[in-house]
Amino acid sequence: MPIQSEVELREIFGHAKGRAAQKQLSQLEPHSMRFIELSPFMTISTFNQSGKLDCSPRGGAAGFVKILDTNRLLIPEAKGNNRLDSLVNIIETGKIGCLFLIPGVDETLRINGTASISTCPEHLAHFAKEKNPPKACIDITIEEVFLHCAKSLMRSKLWSESTKIERSKLPTMGQMIKDQLQLSEEPESQEAMLKRYQPLL
């Protein structure tokens, strides 16, 4: 039977207590700033006016997301496949959720806020030394920030060598897309794909 209300949900799970209920902040402080500075990977969640959702990965050298002040972040929009799902969603609703990860650390950092797409020269100057400087960046005004406990990453053993699999256990990206789209041409090999990606990194 599906749960229909928060009241029903709380009857099963109860309410957050103590630190879990109190840890939500409205701006960055030294620990959350340090977390962002050490993070080489994050995901962003967005939605459009009709409620269609998107969750997308972003990565770079540790600290690739720039901190403007305790309430502002800049995420470089690196060259990708030009679907622009997240960016279009931001234009439509101006909302974003972020999850920052650090390899070897089981805690994560969650940030929610408003966002816009910026081509401001002052903003892009933060990324001018990159090998492939971005044409635009995501300008975030923070509304909520809090550390997320380690349990989910501990359960998954995400950083453990024992949970890593050989890439060969999955078909190549080219093969999977060929099968999904029922394409007739030969799929791109993993080696060719990696070679094609290298100039864009």
d(CA 141, CA 90): 12
Q: Domains of the chain by range and CATH? A: 16-156 (2.30.110.10), 165-200 (no CATH)
Alpha-carbon dihedral 151, 45, 37, 60, rounded to 10 degrees = 110
Identify the H or E element spanning 151. helix 151-156
Summarize pLDDT for 47-84 with one digit per residue, the tens: 999 999 999 999 999 999 999 999 999 999 998 889 99
Residues 6+ away with beta carbon under 8 Å from 28: 36, 67, 70, 71, 142, 145
Summarize pLDDT for 13-44 with one digit per residue, the tens: 999 888 888 889 999 999 999 999 999 999 99
pLDDT band at 171 (very low <50, low <70, confident <90, very high): very high
Cβ-contact 78, 60 below 8 angstroms:
yes
Cβ-contact 134, 126 below 8 angstroms:
no
